Structure 1
Amino acid sequence: MHALGTHLLVELRECNPEILKDLKRVKNALVSAAKEAKATIVDISFHEFNPFGISGMVVIAESHLSIHTWPEYSYAAVDIFTCGDIIKPEVAASFLIEQFESKSPSIVELKRGILSHMNEKLPHKITEPELQSVS
């Protein structure tokens, strides 16, 4: 079974709440996680909520990393979606578990883009002529 991408749903429970409410640390952690996984960063956007909580996204050429923090519950929800098989999303997940000092993390892995009519490994990018031959 071949897929276009891997999507990790990362539950970070029992984190250090001081880190989760620090915009600079949260942003640096996600950007560094993308770099650790050897991803190509395209754009970065973060927002700090009042009284607390941060949402952010690191758009990568291979898809994205996103986070939503609830420091009042010592919890963060992280999505790591990568296309192709070069980037290792599990490296980014492990890095974030350490950075947020999560004592009770969990990871659910989903394969995305499983196309039943395709029996061979799929490239995550194809050219227009290749697209015509697939149709």
Structure 2
Amino acid sequence: MIGRHLLLEHWGGRGLRDAALLERSMRAAAREAGAHILGAHFHPFEGGGVTGVLLLAESHVTVHTWPEHGYAALDLFMCGEAPVERAADVLDAMLAPERSERRTLARGYRNQASQPAS
């Protein structure tokens, strides 16, 4: 396995319009996973959501929010055995969604078909 890709969905909570809070939360999550941050870019849209990315030596953490739907989609992709679940725990704690769901996909298996998503 090359890495794991955790898809995190948030409904409600904080940060849907707050690029600074999202960046602080994502940086804290990356640190919790032992990742090395190479750069960041966050773009707040007029009257609405935020798109942001942390570029990591280990891959990336991204966010896209739709405040009009009370929804945020976050991706945590890190190589090796990085603890993406602990990083997601930090995001849940800092952003306090009303509901949170996770799916994890093992990335980079030679026989990808034999490795189901969890």
TM-score, normalised via structure 1 length: 0.78
Q: Which amino acid aligns with 1:106?
A: E
Q: Where does residue 28 of structure 2 map in the other structure?
A: 32
Rounded to whole Å, the distance in 2 between the matches of 1:76 and 1:101 is 12
Q: Secondary structure at the match of 2:46?
A: coil
Alignment of 1:15-94 (within 5 A): 15-16=13-14, 19-85=15-81, 87-94=82-89
- Given the alignment of the two structures, is residue 113 of structure 1 paired with residue 104 of structure 2, yes or no? no
**By how many angstroms is 1:68 displaced?**
0.5
Rounded to whole Å, the distance in 2 between the matches of 1:5 and 1:107 is 16
Rounded to whole Å, the distance in 2 between the matches of 1:49 and 1:71 is 11
Q: Deviations over 1:96-132 (max 9, x none)?
A: 111111121010010110113xxxxxxxxxxxxxxxx
For structure 1, the residue ranges without an aligned partner over 5 or more in a row are 117-135
- Given the alignment of the two structures, is residue 98 of structure 1 paired with residue 93 of structure 2, yes or no? yes
Q: Where does residue 124 of structure 1 map in the other structure?
A: none
Which one of 5, 8, 18 corresponds to residue 7 of structure 1?
5
TM-score, normalised via structure 2 length: 0.88
Rounded to whole Å, the distance in 1 between the matches of 2:74 and 2:59 is 14
**By how many angstroms is 1:50 displaced?**
1.1
Quote the sequence identity (%).
37
Which aligned runs of 4 or more in structure 1 are off by greater than 3 angstroms? none
Q: Which amino acid aligns with 2:3?
A: G
Q: Deviations over 1:6-26 (max 9, x none)?
A: 00011111223xx22112111
Larger CA Rg, structure 1 vs 2: 1
For structure 2, the residue ranges without an aligned partner over 5 or more in a row are 112-118
